[in-house]
């Protein structure tokens, strides 16, 4: 039981009597005790605290004993006697007893007060100890908590550090992977660009070879380049396999593999270049072989023809000799009959006059045929034909024929005249909006021209022609007519002719079939507006003087750049000359439109079908083979003209056109070989050999049928 429990129970006890009896008992008791200063309290939970409390209690007991002794030694204190006895022996209270009783009560109160004080002190000490103990426990607990927290914090810090390290490692690895990925992507991109360039070069060469082979017949390809063709197919398959491997490998390929792929692609490009040269060489040899065969065949035919002509001549000479012999015999018989008749008359006159006539000498009739035959044999044979070329023309110049130069100068003078006339309209800033509206009125229907249907072509033509007829056109909510200005008609003629020519480098050069609807509209406008045709030709000859044909010579004071500009080369925005392949592409488009204008009929309801007919194509070919050739350009234009006009010219001119083709093969191609050894010249040789071998030229696709609109 603790001190607190005792204190709680003090209210229910008679504390005074209990303490008094306890004090007396502790003094007088000699036997074993369970209470006293020498006994350990049973309520102390800890030994150290018990000892401290014991010492305090012993000290207090000693003081109480001292006080008790003092009381005993006091004179006023009665002698020791038994309280119980005294109580029962004396019924009347004594003064001393009262004093003793009062002293005892006072002592009891003081003891009680002292005990309470001591108990309060003990309680306070106990509370302080408990607080201290609790504080120590709390400190220990806090220390343990702090240690646990520190350990937890250390473990957390360690975990965080490990996590941060792992995160930094992951970030570093991620950065390394990103750098590797980025470098691999860059490497892949560079390799892709390199392979793409190689693929572009390979495909361009492959298309050139394929186009060259398609221009030939199947027999020529099988005879001249069957092995090369198989090699080309194998090379194309190997290159496609390389591209497939490159696409499937993707970015998993390392640098060495990329370099290996690019080197392989470059090797394929080099191989196909060599293969193209082999193709050209083989085809050239085959062409030479074919030409030699054709030459031998032509010689045989010529010899056969000469033999036939000789036999025919001999037969005619024999027939003529026989006829002359018969005529001579008839003349001799007639002369003999006349001589006999004259003789008879003379004899009759002589007989009538009595005169006898002398005898008449008559030659031997057997010698007459010999004389007639000799006379017939002495007659010279008919003179051979004059030594002229198969064209019937003698070239006046190596650059241009005089008649073509005069025609060129005529239309060029008309073009310059029109340009000078429209300058006031073209330079007037106040009329800028009107010029823009005129351009829109022409450009919108002209750009829409196509052979989709006859109605579509008719509608676009009517929009252009009605504008030239003075009908109003609504442009941007504004109505204009060509009669709004006196120079507008000439200005629009120049504008529409230039716009037609500009189609050669946009739509016609990439789509050859687009030339025929444009050509039909051009021919129809040419019939209805005669000046338009000459202005159109002026623009065509300005872009390509070879269509005259006119090979403009380079003057001594001209630079190469200036000369190239005179024959149609253009300058870019950076003041650089265009590349030759772009120039040849535009020249091809111009030749296609020029040939389409020659062969395409106009609208059937406007009179004659052609203002610039097929004879212009014959005239161009006849003069073109007489002017000095230029590398690539001459072969390209010749091949384009034959490809487009060959069918109609063969059907129209027949054997004369075949003679022209033979002349081109035997005379013009050797002359061209002195200036040109490129692909266009080889393709021209192949197409000529094909035409002459097959004795036909296929009709070009996209030609408008007669009466289309």
CATH code: domain of residue 597 = 1.25.40.510
Task: Measure the CA–CA gap between 664 and 671, rounded to whole angstroms.
Answer: 10
SS3 478: strand
Element holding 25 (H helix, E strand): helix 15-28
- Does residue 683 sit in helix, strand or coil? helix
pLDDT of residue 622: 92
Residue 438 lies in a domain: yes
189/49: higher pLDDT = 189
**Rounded Cα distance, 652 and 107, in Å:** 167
Residue pLDDT, tens place only, 225-270: 777 778 888 888 888 887 777 777 655 556 677 777 788 888 888 8
Residue 539 has a CB neighbour count (10 Å cut-off) of: 20
SS3 702: coil
3 state DSSP class of 268: helix
**Residue after which a domain boundary falls, among 177, 201, 226:** 177
Six-digit token string for 568: 């149609």
Pick from 119-123, 389-393, 462-466 the range whose average pLDDT is largest.
Answer: 462-466
Quick one: pLDDT at residue 573? 75
Residues 6+ apart with CB under 8 A from 661: 688, 691, 692
Decide if 47 is inside a domain. Answer: yes
Q: What are the distances in angstroms from CA 679 to CA 145, 207, 233, 628?
A: 95, 13, 20, 19
Domain holding 684, by residue range, is: 402-694
Which position has the higher pLDDT, 598 or 135? Answer: 598
In a domain, 346, yes or no: no
Residue that is last in its domain, among 129, 144, 177:
177
Alpha helices, H only, 383-507: 402-421, 423-427, 432-447, 454-468, 488-502
Nearest CA-CA partner of 586 in 543, 550, 621, 629: 543
What's the domain count of the chain? Answer: 2
Asked if 481 and 415 touch (Cβ cutoff 8 Å), the reply is no
Q: How far apart are CA 232 and CA 220, in angstroms?
A: 16
For 261-275, 330-344, 483-497, which range has the lowest pLDDT when averaged over its residues? 330-344
pLDDT in tens, 521-535: 999 999 999 899 999
The b-or-e profile of 328-367 (16+ CB within 10 A means b, else e) is: beeeeeeeeeeeeeeeeeeeeeeeeeeeeeeeeeeeeeee
283/699 Cα distance (integer angstroms): 24
For the ranges 183-187, 322-326, 337-341, the lowest mean pLDDT is seen at 337-341
- 394, part of any domain: no
Q: Which residues, other chains included, contact 517 with Cβ-Cβ below 8 Å and sequence gap of 6+?
A: 449, 450, 451, 457, 704
Judge whether 186 lies within some domain: no
Instruction: Compute CA distances 237 → 243, 260, 666, whole Å.
Output: 10, 18, 39
Q: Among 128, 152, 177, where does a domain finish?
A: 177
Q: What is the arithmetic mean of pLDDT over 318-327?
A: 77
Rounded CA gap, 225 and 227, in Å?
Answer: 6
**pLDDT at residue 598, rounded to an integer:** 94
Contacts 24+ apart (CB under 8 A), 679-684: 679/208, 679/212, 679/280, 680/584, 680/632, 680/635, 680/636, 680/639, 681/632, 681/635, 682/212, 682/280, 682/283, 682/284, 682/287, 683/212, 683/215, 683/635, 683/639, 684/635, 684/638, 684/639
408 belongs to a structural domain: yes
> In this structure, is residue 191 part of a structural domain?
no
For the chain, state the CA radius of gyration: 69
**For residue 498, is pLDDT > 90?**
yes
Lowest mean pLDDT among 183-197, 576-590, 677-691: 183-197
Is the model's pLDDT at 35 over the cut of 70? Answer: no
How far is C-alpha 571 from the chain's CA centre?
25
Query: Does residue 510 belong to any structural domain of this protein?
Result: yes
Q: 609-634: per-residue pLDDT in tens?
A: 678 889 999 999 999 999 988 888 99
Residue 374: the pLDDT is 30
């Amino acid at each position: 039981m603790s001190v607190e429990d005792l204190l709680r129970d003090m209210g229910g006890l008679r504390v005074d009597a209990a303490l008094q009896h306890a004090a007396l008992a502790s003094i007088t008791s000699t036997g074993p005790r369970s209470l006293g200063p020498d006994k350990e309290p049973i309520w102390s939970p800890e030994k150290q605290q018990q000892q401290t409390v014991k010492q305090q209690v012993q000290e207090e007991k000693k003081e109480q004993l001292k006080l008790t002794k003092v009381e005993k030694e006091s004179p006023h204190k009665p002698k020791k006697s038994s309280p119980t006895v005294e109580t029962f022996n004396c019924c009347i209270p004594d003064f001393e007893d009262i004093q003793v009783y009062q002293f005892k009560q006072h002592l009891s109160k003081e003891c009680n007060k002292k005990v309470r004080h001591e108990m309060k002190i003990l309680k306070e000490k106990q509370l302080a100890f408990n607080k201290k103990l609790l504080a120590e426990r709390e400190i220990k607990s806090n220390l343990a908590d702090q240690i646990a927290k520190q350990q937890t914090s250390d473990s957390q810090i360690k975990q965080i550090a490990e996590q941060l390290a792992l995160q930094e490692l992951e970030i570093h690895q991620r950065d390394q992977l990103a750098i590797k990925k980025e470098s691999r992507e860059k490497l892949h991109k560079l390799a892709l660009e390199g392979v793409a360039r190689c693929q572009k070069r390979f495909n361009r060469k492959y298309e050139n070879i394929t186009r060259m082979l398609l221009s030939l017949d199947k027999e020529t390809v099988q005879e001249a380049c069957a092995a090369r063709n198989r090699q080309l197919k194998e090379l194309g398959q190997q290159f496609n396999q390389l591209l497939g491997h490159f696409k499937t490998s993707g970015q998993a390929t390392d640098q060495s593999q990329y370099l290996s792929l690019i080197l392989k692609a470059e090797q394929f490009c080099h191989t196909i270049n060599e293969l193209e040269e082999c193709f050209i060489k083989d085809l050239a040899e085959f062409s030479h072989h074919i030409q030699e065969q054709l030459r031998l065949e032509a010689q045989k035919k010529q010899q056969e023809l000469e033999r036939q002509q000789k036999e025919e001549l001999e037969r005619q000479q024999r027939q003529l000799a026989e006829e002359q012999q018969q005529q001579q015999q008839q003349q001799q018989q007639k002369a003999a009959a006349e001589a006999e008749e004259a003789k008879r008359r003379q004899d009759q006159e002589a007989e009538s006059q009595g005169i006898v006539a002398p005898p008449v000498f008559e030659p031997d009739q057997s010698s007459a045929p010999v004389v007639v035959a000799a006379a017939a044999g002495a007659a010279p044979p008919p003179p051979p034909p004059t030594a002229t070329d198969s064209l019937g023309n003698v070239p006046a110049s190596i650059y241009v024929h005089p008649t073509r130069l005069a025609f060129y100068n005529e239309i060029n003078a008309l073009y310059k005249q029109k340009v000078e006339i429209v300058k006031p309209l073209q330079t007037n800033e106040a009329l800028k909006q009107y010029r823009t509206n005129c351009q829109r009125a022409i450009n919108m229907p002209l750009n829409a021209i196509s052979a989709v249907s006859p109605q579509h072509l008719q509608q676009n033509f009517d929009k252009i022609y009605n504008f030239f007829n003075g009908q109003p056109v609504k442009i941007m909510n504004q109505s204009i007519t060509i009669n709004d200005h006196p120079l507008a008609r000439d200005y629009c003629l120049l504008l529409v002719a230039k716009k037609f020519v500009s189609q050669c480098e946009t739509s016609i050069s990439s789509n050859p079939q687009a030339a025929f609807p444009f050509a039909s509209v051009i021919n129809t406008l040419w019939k209805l507006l005669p000046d338009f045709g000459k202005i159109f030709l002026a623009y065509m000859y300005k872009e390509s003087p070879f269509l005259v044909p006119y090979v403009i010579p380079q003057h001594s004071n001209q630079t190469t750049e200036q000369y190239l500009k005179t024959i149609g080369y253009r300058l870019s925005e950076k003041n650089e000359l265009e590349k030759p392949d772009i120039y040849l592409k535009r020249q091809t488009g111009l030749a296609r439109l020029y040939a389409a204008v020659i062969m395409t009929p106009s609208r059937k309801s406007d009179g004659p079908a052609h203002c610039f007919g097929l004879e212009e194509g014959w005239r161009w070919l006849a003069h073109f083979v007489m002017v000095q050739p230029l590398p690539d350009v001459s072969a390209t234009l010749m091949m384009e003209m034959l490809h487009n006009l060959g069918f109609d010219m063969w059907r129209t001119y027949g054997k004369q056109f075949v003679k022209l083709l033979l002349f081109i093969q035997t005379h013009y191609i050797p002359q061209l070989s002195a200036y040109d050894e490129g692909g266009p010249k080889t393709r021209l040789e192949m197409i000529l050999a094909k035409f002459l071998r097959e004795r036909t030229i296929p009709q070009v696709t996209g030609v408008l049928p007669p009466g289309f609109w």
